[in-house]
Chains A and B, each alone.
Chain A
Amino acid sequence: DTGVSQDPRHKITKRGQNVTFRCDPISEHNRLYWYRQTLGQGPEFLTYFQNEAQLEKSRLLSDRFSAERPKGSFSTLEIQRTEQGDSAMYLCASSANLYGYTFGSGTRLTVV
C-alpha cells in the first residue's frame, strides 16, 4: 500500500468549467475526508465519509460541490461551474480510527 493517492496533482481550468478529483485511500481505512487549503490557512473541512455513507458536509460547501464514495473505496470530488475563489489545494485524508489522518499529496486547482 502506497498511502493515500490523489489525482490529478495539478488542474488548471477556465472559470465556469466542471472539474473532478479522485482520491484513493489506504485500503483498510473506512473513513475518508476532503479538506481544502488556501495560502496561509490551515486545512478546512469539506466532507466526511464512513464507508460509502457521506455523514457530514461543511455548511461552507456550496451546492456546486459534490462528493461520492461508491462502494466505500475511492472517492471523487466534483466542482461544477468553477469560480476563481475555488482555487486552492484540495486534500484527501483517510483514517481507520481516532489515531489520526493519513493525507494525500493534494490536488492543486487553479481557476483562470
Chain B
Amino acid sequence: GEDVEQSLFLSVREGDSSVINCTYTDSSSTYLYWYKQEPGAGLQLLTYIFSNMDMKQDQRLTVLLNKKDKHLSLRIADTQTGDSAIYFCAETPGYGGSQGNLIFGKGTKLSVKP
C-alpha cells in the first residue's frame, strides 16, 4: 500500500544543519515534495524533486532522493529560529494523480533552540 513515514520530532540548535528524513513505499511516485506548516498557517510548498533526480538544491535547502531505498531527505543549512515548523513529506500516488492528490507523512516537528 501507499505509505509515507517520517520521524515526529527533531530538535537542533540555531546555526546547525537540520536533516529531516522520509521513507515512502510507492516506487512509481513521480514527484516528491516537502511542505512546511508554521503555527496557525496553511501548508507551504518548500520544494519538490522529480523521481529521476537524486539531488536538488535551493539556497539553504538540499533535497536528496535515494530511489533504490525509497528515502527522501531535506537538509536545512544554518537553521534559524524561523525554520521552526512542521515539515511534511509527500508523494504523488502511483496511479498518476495530479499534484493535489498527494500522500502525506505525519509530519516532523522541527524545534530550533537559540
Q: Do A and B bind each other?
A: no
Binding site for B on A (CB under 8 A): none
